[in-house]
Amino acid sequence: MMNVFETTETLPVIPHNLSIPQFFLDYEGNERFVNDGQPVQGLEPNPWFIEEKTGRRIGLDEVRSRTFGFANALSTRYNIGKDDVVLIFSRNHVDYPVAIWAVHRLGGIVSGANPDFVSDELLYQIQICNAKLILVHPDALETAVAAARRAGITLDRVVVFNVDSQKSTEDFLSISALIEEGLSQPSHFVEPKIDARTKLAFLSFSSGTTGKPKAVAIPHYSVIINVIQMAIHFKVFREHAPWHERRFRPGDIAIQVLPMYHIYGLILNLHFILYSRMSLVLVEKFAFVRMLELIERYRISHLMVVPPHVVLFCKQPQLVRKYALDSVRFIMVGAAPLSNEVNHQIFNIFPEAHIGQAYGMTETATSISAFPITQNRGTAGSAGSLEPGVRVRILKEDGTFGTFNEPGELLVWSPSNALGYYKNEEATRETFPNGWVRTGDEAKIDENLQLWVMDRMKEIMKVRGFQVAPAELEGCILDHPDVTDACVVGIPDDYSGEVPLAFVVLTEEASTRVQRGVEEGAKVKASIHKHVSDNKVYYKRLAGGIEFCSTIPKNPSGKLLRRVLREKAKALRKNPTAKL
């Protein structure tokens, strides 16, 4: 019986002595790794980045120059060098990747932090990484200063990104000023020789759904090889179809609404798109209407998004119809499951686009599966087929490994896997046994090597002995016309063991009706109950009830923070009149 699943497609040999900027910025002809050495057509120069607000176009030569200038200044002024950690506490910015690659040129390590962190959260990341320098967006400067002081970092080691902001930054050096300083001086550094398989490039923090976040140690090779895996999977640079039907073409334009501090935005939305010789419109902070405007203005062809973005398209059809979105040819959805109902709705909104899901995590840096090139539409509910070089196992509850269509915990081996958790041997042993990653996700593999991720193992509810996946119920609830967002958690029940409780965010119109009185709220709840009962088997009904709330808590990648709502559910059981 087969219990290790992998594709027959092989990976090319990639040099182990190249850093990320050496591979992506300097290594001419690196597309040959996925193109059998054949010349690539359509490689006319196109901008690497397009600045969202100004339309400024930034080409490779300018990127190289700014990267050198910043690296030189970091070396001369701050003595940043081998294995020093620079923490980037910022929203997306055209100099964000420049900062990343400058640190890498010096042999340093980058750790990206969520700019919405409070001081305690940022302090925790600074201390885990032992950061030597903080690069910060002006809007987050107050938090950065507070955390830096508590961490013992002098304020001359806090550097700001250049943006139009009402926040005063006159007491701090800017990245642009440092770039100019570095470009005005002779080179002060020599790029160190590295083994890309072991030299750390990033300390990217896991989502923290199981206790405090952990720093995932990601080497240079992981980023390079995962981009190659994706490129082979999607046949980038290969003449596999007529030009107008190819999924990725040099000169296409993608949008970066995903944050670069998150692994999905960092590796796939940034490095993979640039490797594919496409231009990238960099968006500082996601706003749905702004995204629609930019798609229309720049004729954007490629979207990399998370399920909450897709829900916005599906729930606001009248707004969506106001914009010309016919340029969109490709939509990839990752970071969290997409329900069948929402899947089919997004298919209808973009009838000509290639649309499907992918699966990955910070610990696998990043994707291990994506919808195949043979399908314009990914199979509803599937996370796609395995990428080349990836091996997976399904660990069943009885400790044995499953075969086709047997559910269990998904274990992954990939050449892109992280090295473990930074300075955390116990957690590394638990999650990275023998180089494999225990994902904590329940999944199965079918005969076509398609991956089906069913839910987080710990989030599966047992109702009267039956397994119930919250994501399935959320998809059903989201299909109700009064609902704009939802999260389902299990609550204890004497009879059933657990029963589903739904936290629901109403549309603006429905919320207005509910505010008129208790009777209207009861009508809406009854309608949602009936909708679920009409579409799901009896044990999947919302026996735990429905609670209205203003927002559903999510992490930066779009994953629902069920643990937060579980705690709210516990509080409601103790005090039913408590406010959410």
Q: What is the per-residue pLDDT across 33-51, written as a single tens digit (0 to 9) for each? A: 888 666 666 555 789 999 9
Higher-pLDDT residue of 31 and 373 is: 373
> Is 170's pLDDT higher than 90?
no
**Coil, strand, or helix at residue 182?**
helix
The CATH number given to whatever domain includes residue 552 is: 3.30.300.30
CB 477 within 8 A of CB 496: no
Between 86-95, 111-120, 378-387, 532-541, the lowest mean confidence (pLDDT) is in: 532-541
Pairing of strands 330-333, 354-360: parallel
CB 571 within 8 A of CB 578: yes
Residue 356 belongs to some domain of the structure: yes
Question: What are the backbone dihedrals phi and psi of residue 377, each rounded to the nearest 5 degrees, phi first?
Answer: -120, 125
The CATH number given to whatever domain includes residue 188 is: 3.40.50.980
Do 294 and 378 belong together in one domain? yes
The pTM of the full predicted model, rounded to 2 decimals, is 0.85
Residue 217 belongs to some domain of the structure: no
Do 188 and 246 belong together in one domain? no
Do 292 and 403 belong together in one domain? yes
Of 137, 163, 193, the one marking the end of a domain is 193
Question: HSE-up of 167 (CA within 13 Å, CB side)?
Answer: 17
Residues comprising the chain, all counted: 580
Residues 283 and 291: their CA atoms lie apart, in Å, by 8
Residues 111 and 31: their CA atoms lie apart, in Å, by 28
> Is 204's pLDDT higher than 90?
yes
Residue 30 belongs to some domain of the structure: no
Instruction: Give the number of other Cβ atoms within 10 Å of residue 473's Cβ.
Output: 23
Of 140, 162, 193, the one marking the end of a domain is 193
Q: What is the DSSP letter of 66?
A: H
> Is 207's pLDDT higher than 90?
no
Do 274 and 350 belong together in one domain? yes
Do 516 and 394 belong together in one domain? no
Do 285 and 165 belong together in one domain? no
Average pLDDT across the chain, whole number: 90
Do 497 and 388 belong together in one domain? no
Cis omega (within 30 of 0) for bond into 198: no
The CA radius of gyration of the chain, in Å to the nearest whole number, is: 24
Pairing of strands 49-51, 279-282: parallel
Residue 3 belongs to some domain of the structure: no
Question: What are the backbone dihedrals phi and psi of residue 489, each rounded to the nearest 5 degrees, phi first?
Answer: -130, 155
Question: HSE-up of 257 (CA within 13 Å, CB side)?
Answer: 24
Which pLDDT value is given to residue 81?
A: 97
The CATH number given to whatever domain includes residue 448 is: 3.40.50.12780
> 259 vs 96, 131, 256, CA distance in Å?
10, 20, 8
Residues 251 and 302: their CA atoms lie apart, in Å, by 11
Do 471 and 451 belong together in one domain? no
What b-and-e string marks burial along 205-223, b requiring 16 or more CB atoms within 10 Å of the CB?
bbbebeeebbbbbbbbbbb
**Residue 2's pLDDT band (boundaries 50, 70, 90)?**
low
CB burial class (10 A; 0-12, 13-18, 19+) of residue 4? Answer: exposed
SS3 content of the chain, % helix, strand, coil (to 5): 35, 20, 40
**Residue 388's pLDDT band (boundaries 50, 70, 90)?**
very high
> Is 174's pLDDT higher than 60?
yes
CB burial class (10 A; 0-12, 13-18, 19+) of residue 52? Answer: buried
Do 354 and 442 belong together in one domain? yes
Instruction: Give the number of other Cβ atoms within 10 Å of residue 21's Cβ.
Output: 25
Residues 389 and 228: their CA atoms lie apart, in Å, by 10
Which pLDDT value is given to residue 554?
A: 85
| Number of domains the chain contains | 3
**Coil, strand, or helix at residue 242?**
coil
Overall average pLDDT of the 298-310 stretch = 92
Residue 11 belongs to some domain of the structure: no
Residues 226 and 580: their CA atoms lie apart, in Å, by 41
**Cβ within 8 Å of residue 572, ≥6 positions away:** 547, 578, 580
Of 171, 193, 215, the one marking the end of a domain is 193
> Is 465's pLDDT higher than 70?
no
Q: What is the per-residue pLDDT across 120-135, written as a single tens digit (0 to 9) for each? A: 889 999 999 999 999 9
Residue 284 belongs to some domain of the structure: yes
Strands (E), 345-482: 354-360, 367-370, 385-386, 391-395, 408-413, 420-421, 437-445, 451-456, 461-463, 466-468
Q: What is the per-residue pLDDT across 228-274, written as a single tens digit (0 to 9) for each? A: 999 999 999 988 888 888 899 988 999 999 999 999 999 999 999 99
Instruction: Give the number of other Cβ atoms within 10 Å of residue 389's Cβ.
Output: 21
Give the residue among 292, 282, 385, 339 at the shortest CA–CA distance from 487: 339
With vertex at residue 33, the alpha carbon angle to CA 32 and CA 34, rounded to the nearest 5 degrees, is 90
**Residue 504's pLDDT band (boundaries 50, 70, 90)?**
very high
> Is 418's pLDDT higher than 50?
yes
Give the residue among 175, 156, 198 at the shortest CA–CA distance from 88: 175
DSSP result, 347-359:
HHHSTTSEEEEEE
Q: What is the per-residue pLDDT across 308-344, written as a single tens digit (0 to 9) for each? A: 888 889 888 899 999 999 999 999 998 777 777 788 8
Do 391 and 278 belong together in one domain? yes
* Alpha helices for 421-561 (secondary structure H): 425-431, 470-478, 508-514, 518-535
Higher-pLDDT residue of 31 and 439 is: 439
CB 385 within 8 A of CB 449: yes
| Cα-Cα end-to-end distance for the chain | 50
Range of the domain at 539: 460-574
Residue 39 belongs to some domain of the structure: no
Which pLDDT value is given to residue 209?
A: 37
Q: What is the DSSP letter of 554?
A: B
Do 466 and 506 belong together in one domain? yes
Q: What is the per-residue pLDDT across 531-564, written as a single tens digit (0 to 9) for each? A: 998 888 778 899 999 999 999 998 766 778 887 8
Residue 501 belongs to some domain of the structure: yes
> Is 14's pLDDT higher than 80?
yes
Question: HSE-up of 110 (CA within 13 Å, CB side)?
Answer: 26
Do 479 and 561 belong together in one domain? yes
**Cβ within 8 Å of residue 190, ≥6 positions away:** none
**Residue 175's pLDDT band (boundaries 50, 70, 90)?**
very high
